[in-house]
Amino acid sequence: MKRLIATVSALIILYISLFSPTSSQATSHQTIQVIAVENFYGELVKMLGGPYVSVISILSNPNQDPHLLEASPKIARTYASAQLLVYNGANYNPWLPRLLSSSRKNRKPHTEIVAADLVGKKPGDNPHLWYLPATMPAVARAVSAFLVQTDPAHKADYAVRLTRFIDSIKPIDQKIAELRQYYQGEPVTATESVFGYMAEAIGLTMHNKRFQLAAMNETEPSAADVAAFEHDLRTRQVRVLIYNNQASDMSTQRMLKIAQQSHVPIVHVTETEPDGKTYHQWMLEQLNALQRALEGQVQ
Ligand SMILES: [Zn+2]
């Protein structure tokens, strides 16, 4: 039923806002037209392409659950003009293959960069690949190679921009290494799997994975999985609850409440990049919040 939230009309509004004066200004004939389905990949392309690219992202509303989004025919039409399409893959957007095949007929040939393919993930794996440390550098290199090939005149500029991006995310790896040193093996839990790869990189022991899968797929968690989760919180078997603000329902909100009552520190995370933040700011803020929570600070 939650699908109703992501109505077609909401998407048309989104579509209109994507073509606000700022973006249409940038759509000159010289720029390379890019659609990055998820907004963090969109930001990446903007950083790598600077003034030579025009980028549109579809998933950028932090109040919407991206797993449940449906694409409108209007969005399908915007795909027709893109020279590059960047998206997550691993079945993160089940609507995308349908949309691509329906708009394929009228489209000029374009390049697709699929994050999942670059890091060896497939449907059924945890789809939140932008929390996997290897993903952004891999997507950045692929996007940069495409830009150099399409627009060799600006090759040197693209190289500088790629180096700058790779440097900008180094503090994330440093923070992960630092957390790993202190907190490897510590038990934590989460309402949904969005932070899974990051928790794995830090070496945290993740509890209640079946509950997280149910929350992601909008299915009912089993009574046994709910009971195990509640027990973990009430008896403080876990150091932290990681809470996905963008994939919440009655069962996840219930866990949030129990965590609060049981004084288990909570870390709030999101699926899409918040407005006004860069990828590395977003990730570092979440990692810093996790650090405070692991130190026992209740938020
Ligand atoms: Zn998710």
DSSP string, 161-228: HHHHHHHHTHHHHHHHHHHHHHHTT-EEEESSGGGHHHHHHHT-EEE-HHHHHHHHHT-PPPHHHHHH
User: What's the token pair of residue 114?
Assistant: 């699929």
Q: Which residues, by Cβ under 5 Å, contact ligand 1, an ion?
A: 194, 216, 247
Considering Cα of 158, then 159, then 162, then 168, what sign does the dihedral take?
negative
In this predicted structure, the answer to whether residue 24 has a pLDDT above a threshold of 50 is no
Lowest mean pLDDT among 105-114, 182-191, 280-289: 105-114
Q: What is the mean pLDDT of the chain?
A: 86
Reported as a single tens digit per residue, the pLDDT across 136-195 is: 999 999 999 999 999 999 999 999 999 999 999 999 999 999 999 999 999 999 999 999
48 vs 33, which has greater pLDDT?
48
> Ligand 1 centre from 272 Cα, in Å?
9
**Short-list 137, 41, 141, CA closest to 82:** 41
Task: Assess whether pLDDT exceeds 80 at residue 39.
Answer: yes
Beta bridge partners of 269: 244
Residue 248 Cα, ligand 1 centroid: separation in angstroms? 10
Q: Concatenated DSSP letters for 64-102?
A: S-GGG----HHHHHHHTT-SEEEE--TTSSTTHHHHHHH
Distance (angstroms) between ligand 1 centre and the Cα of 190 equals 11
Q: If you measure from the C-alpha of residue 128 to the centroid of ligand 1, how many angstroms do you get, rounded to a whole number?
A: 6
Bridge partner list, 55: 34
Type of residue numbered 212: Q
Q: How far is the CA of 168 from the centre of ligand 1 (A)?
A: 25
Report how far ligand 1's centroid is from the alpha carbon of 65 (Å): 8
The whole-number pLDDT of residue 252 equals 95
Per-residue pLDDT band at 59 (split at 50, 70, 90): confident
Confidence of residue 20 (pLDDT cuts 50, 70, 90): very low
Cα-to-centroid distance, 61 and ligand 1 (Å)? 14
Which whole number is the average pLDDT over 282-297?
A: 95
